[in-house]
């Protein structure tokens, strides 16, 4: 336990305690959990480890450090889905172990990476407000399926019990859902990133977001339609581009060199000039300055969806280019 958050600190320390002397540990977190990362670093230093806080943002379990001078990397706050495990295993020789709320990936000639959960501890006043907000929602005759991202697990369980509603067997991520997508989803969390995953995989699904901290329920359809319009424009602008950069990312769960040959063949058939560009972070700061008319993104497919309004040139995903019909929008998370 760490303040308002629940962490499996004893499980983490149980893994680290095998060789405490001169062990360097890197603690990395998403942007919103840097304060938690700082407390974990303090905790580990008090226990005799040499712990460092990563200043880098990490966007998902696909995005972790493999810096050689750390024996352990503690990656906090992200679920590790099977599609990312497959990519990591294709890029490294790894061994996986599960240890309660911690998934351990041992990278050959690299660090041991601990993917650890962070859970919000449910606050009674927020649960009370949730019951009030969702009682009106249920009075409309809506019978939702409860879904959540990893940090909101305990909020989701409390709300599902209150509503007597079915709940997902595990957390979703921005690129993977591990259960059949139902017709109506109530996502427990904050922000649009995770609930939009349902719409990107199955557009006909009705998805509601319940923001735990704001106490507000909203249908995400308008946001989805805005993203869809940006996606269509990016594809149309890409079709008019003459020179194209195929961007590969070195992030452990995003590095897809296996896509290059198929993309090269496709671009040749389309009569486009191309260059392969090696990047770590596929972000506007880098992409906007590339000397090409358009970019094909082989990294996280959400880059070619969520971030399109931040790019000054069209960015499409590898899946868009390799489809027989690029404007087939029935599943936008094709890698």
Residues of the chain with CATH 3.40.50.11850: 124-219
CATH number of 5-119: 3.40.50.11840
Strand partners, 51: 25
Q: Cβ neighbours of residue 12 under 8 Å, at least 6 residues apart?
A: 40, 74, 102, 114, 116
Q: What's residue 21's pLDDT?
A: 66
- In angstroms, the CA 55 to CA 43 distance is 18
How far the first Cα of the chain sits from its last, in Å, is 37
Residues of the chain with CATH 3.40.50.11840: 5-119
124-219 CATH fold: Rossmann fold (3.40.50)
SS (H, E, C) the chain: CECCEECCHHHHHHHHHHHCCCCEEEEECCHHHHHHHHHHHHHHHHCCCEEEECCCCCCCCCCCCCCCCCCEEEEECCCCCHHHHHHHHHHCCEEEEEECCEEEEEECCCCEEEEECCEECCCHHHHHHHHHHHHHHHHCCCCCEEEECHHHHHHHHHHHHHHCCCECCCCCCCCCCCCCCCCEEEEEECCCCCHHHHHHHCCCCEEEEEECCCCEEEECHHHHHHHHHHHHHHHHHHHHCCEEEEEEECCCCCCCHHHHHHHHHHHHHCCCEEEEEEECCCCHHHHCCCCCCEEEECCCCCHHHHCHHHCCCCEEEHHHHHCCCCCCCCCCCCC
Residues of the chain with CATH 3.40.50.11860: 232-322
Q: What's residue 281's pLDDT?
A: 87
User: What is the CATH architecture assignment of 232-322?
Assistant: 3-Layer(aba) Sandwich (3.40)
282 φ, ψ (degrees, to nearest 5):
-85, 85
Q: What's residue 334's pLDDT?
A: 76
Q: What's residue 328's pLDDT?
A: 84
Strand partners, 245: 275, 295
- Burial string for 203-219 (b: 16+ CB within 10 Å, else e) reads bebbbbbbbbeeeebee
Q: What's residue 64's pLDDT?
A: 94
Written as tens digits, the pLDDT of the chain (335 aa) is 566 899 999 899 888 876 666 789 999 999 889 999 999 999 999 998 999 999 988 999 999 999 878 999 999 999 999 999 999 999 999 999 988 789 999 999 999 999 999 999 999 999 999 999 998 788 888 889 999 999 999 999 999 999 999 999 999 999 999 999 999 999 999 999 999 999 999 999 999 999 999 999 999 999 999 999 999 999 999 999 999 999 999 999 999 999 999 999 999 999 999 999 999 889 999 999 999 999 999 999 999 999 899 999 999 999 999 998 878 888 888 76
Q: What's residue 1's pLDDT?
A: 52
């Amino acid at each position: 336990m760490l303040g308002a958050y629940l962490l499996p600190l004893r499980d983490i320390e149980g893994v680290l305690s095998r060789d405490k002397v001169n062990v360097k540990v890197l603690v990395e977190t998403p942007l919103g959990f840097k304060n938690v990362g700082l407390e974990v670093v303090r905790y580990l230093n008090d226990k005799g480890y040499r712990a460092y806080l990563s200043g880098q943002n990490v966007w998902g379990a696909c995005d972790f450090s493999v810096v050689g001078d750390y024996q352990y990397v503690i990656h906090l706050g992200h679920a590790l889905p099977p599609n990312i495990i497959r990519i990591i295993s294709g890029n490294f020789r790894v061994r996986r172990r599960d240890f309660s709320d911690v998934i351990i990936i041992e990278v050959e000639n690299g660090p041991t990476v601990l993917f650890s959960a962070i859970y919000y501890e449910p606050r009674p006043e927020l649960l009370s407000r949730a019951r009030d907000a969702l009682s009106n929602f249920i009075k409309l005759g809506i019978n939702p399926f409860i879904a959540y991202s990893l940090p909101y697990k305990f909020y989701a369980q409390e709300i599902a019990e209150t509503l007597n509603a079915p709940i997902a067997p595990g957390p979703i991520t921005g690129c993977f859902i591990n259960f059949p997508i139902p017709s109506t989803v109530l996502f427990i969390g904050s922000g649009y990133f995770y609930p939009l995953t349902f719409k990107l995989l199955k557009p006909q699904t009705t998805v509601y977001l319940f923001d735990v901290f704001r106490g507000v329920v909203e249908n995400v359809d308008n946001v989805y339609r805005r993203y869809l319009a940006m996606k269509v424009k990016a594809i149309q602008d890409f079709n008019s581009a003459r020179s194209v950069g195929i961007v590969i990312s070195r992030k452990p769960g995003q590095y897809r060199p296996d896509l290059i040959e198929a993309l090269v063949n496709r671009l040749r058939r389309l009569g486009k000039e191309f260059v392969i560009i090696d990047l770590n972070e596929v972000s506007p700061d880098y992409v906007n300055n590339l000397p090409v008319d358009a970019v094909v993104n082989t990294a996280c497919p959400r880059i070619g969806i969520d971030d399109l309004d931040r790019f000054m040139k069209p960015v499409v995903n590898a899946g868009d280019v390799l489809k027989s019909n690029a404007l087939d929008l029935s599943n936008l998370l094709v890698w």
